[in-house]
Amino acid sequence: MTQRLHLVFGGELVDPSKNAFKNVDDIHIVGMFPDYDSAYSAWKAEAQRTVDNAHMRYFIAHLHRLRDEEREASPTEELDP
């Protein structure tokens, strides 16, 4: 069975209409989740917890999309540090 990892994270944005964080050091990592449904539940809980702050945003990153297991190396692995 293929595992589809998801990362839920968020923080305060510089401008609510953009996706730039005010302070990257303060990003809240909620956690890694094995499927979208559990990631969505965690995202929703954090989003509702911070609903009073218009600058706070939480996101779901589909980590499984960063890696193509059928290819010898994914594009992210080919980048030089």
Question: What is the residue-level pLDDT of the chain in tens, covering all 81 positions?
Answer: 567 899 999 999 999 999 999 999 999 999 999 999 999 999 999 999 999 999 999 999 998 777 655 655 555 455 444
Domain boundaries, the chain: 6-78
pLDDT for 64? 78
pLDDT for 49? 95
Q: Which CATH superfamily is domain 6-78 in?
A: Uncharacterised protein PF13773, DUF4170 (3.30.70.2400)
Whole-prediction pTM value?
Answer: 0.76
The 3 state secondary structure assigned to the chain is: CCCCCEEEEEEEECCCCCCCECCHHHCEEEEEECCHHHHHHHHHHHHHHCCCCCCEEEEEEEHHHHCCCCCCCCHHHHCCC
CB-based contacts of 28, cutoff 8 Å, min separation 6? 9, 10, 11, 46, 58
pLDDT for 79? 46
